[in-house]
Chains A and B, each alone.
Chain A
Amino acid sequence: MELTSSREPGLQIVTVQEQRIDAAVALAFKDRMREITEEGTEPVLLDLNHVQFIDSSGLGAIVASMKNLGPDRRLILAGLTTTVAKVFRLTRMDSVFGVFSTVEEALAEIRV
């Protein structure tokens, strides 16, 4: 499960370098997310541009990662592709997470 991280002022951007977050890798995603975010205190923007597919296990892993950040750190999502967006919409999780089409839009919103 390859995740990469970069920093903007006041924000950590975690990019998922995988095409699928599904049952096969849900646990690995949670573990890797915890590792890559545990030293920070800023909100996290999860860039899902490369992810073509998630199932409900993948969704659960993203929810778990959000909870793991704690109540003081937001998890924001950007770059949801067709099927990923569908999963968030069907489960209404798109109303729980801040969801942006692009990383640029997310950054613009956060900076205001």
Chain B
Amino acid sequence: MAERSNIQPFSIVIAGSQDAVRDGIAQTMAHLASLALPQEKAGSVELVLAEALNNTIEHALATITAQTRIEIRGSYTADGLHLTIIDQGKPMPRDTPPAGHAPELDVDLQNLPEGGFGWHMIHALARSVKYVRINNTNHLSLHFDIKP
């Protein structure tokens, strides 16, 4: 079995705006590069990160007009890969991540949903998703079943 390199815990800070999301993803994936993840796994991590960041921008930070920042923390332990997204936006409704029921597709083509898939994909690809609010700050923790 190939040895997987280790990585140091890392922290990335980006502006809390849609424009900064691609850069946040790129920086995170660069930190994870030395893990030499199979492309399929790396793709899953990238997708979950994109959906979670988009959700933060669209919901938590939707009404924030002042400049704000998003922090992405990553660590890799015997327990797997952990990414945590931290922002100063609104709390998550009901203090818990949406369940992410996949939208119904058994409809006329003209009525197909164009959204509502994000949380379904996050839950499908991450081993666990946890949300806590600490001192007016949202912490969304994503855990992936990728082990050293």
Mark A residues whose CB is within 8 Å of B. 20, 22-24, 53, 55-57, 59-61, 63-64, 66-67, 71, 82-83, 86-87, 90-93, 95-96
**Complexed CA–CA distance, A64 and B40 (Å):** 27
- Whether, in the assembled complex, B39 has its beta carbon less than 8 Å from a beta carbon of chain A, the answer is yes
How many B residues have CB within 8 A of the partner chain? 30
Say yes or no: B43 contacts A82, CB within 8 Å.
yes
Q: Taking A55-B50, A82-B43 as contacts, is the C-beta distance between A90 and B121 under 8 angstroms?
A: yes
**Complexed CA–CA distance, A8 and B57 (Å):** 41
Residues of B within 8 A of A91 (CB): 102-103, 105, 117, 120-121
Residues of A within 8 A of B51 (CB): 55-56
* Nearest CB in chain B: distance from A95 CB, A: 7
| Residues 108 to 123 of chain B near chain A (Cβ within 8 Å) | 109-110, 112-118, 120-121
- Whether, in the assembled complex, B54 has its beta carbon less than 8 Å from a beta carbon of chain A, the answer is yes
> What is the predominant secondary structure among interface residues of chain B facing chain A?
helix
**Complexed CA–CA distance, A90 and B70 (Å):** 27
Residues of B within 8 A of A67 (CB): 109-110, 112, 114
Question: Contact string, B15-39, partner A, CB cutoff 8 A, digits 1/0?
Answer: 0001101100000000000000001
Say yes or no: A86 contacts B105, CB within 8 Å.
no
Residue of B nearest to A61 (CB): B114
Question: Contact string, B34-70, partner A, CB cutoff 8 A, digits 1/0?
Answer: 0000011001101100110010010000000000000
Say yes or no: B109 contacts A96, CB within 8 Å.
yes
A-B contact pairs, 11 of them (CB 8 A): A22-B50, A24-B18, A24-B22, A53-B47, A55-B54, A61-B114, A71-B110, A91-B102, A91-B117, A91-B120, A91-B121
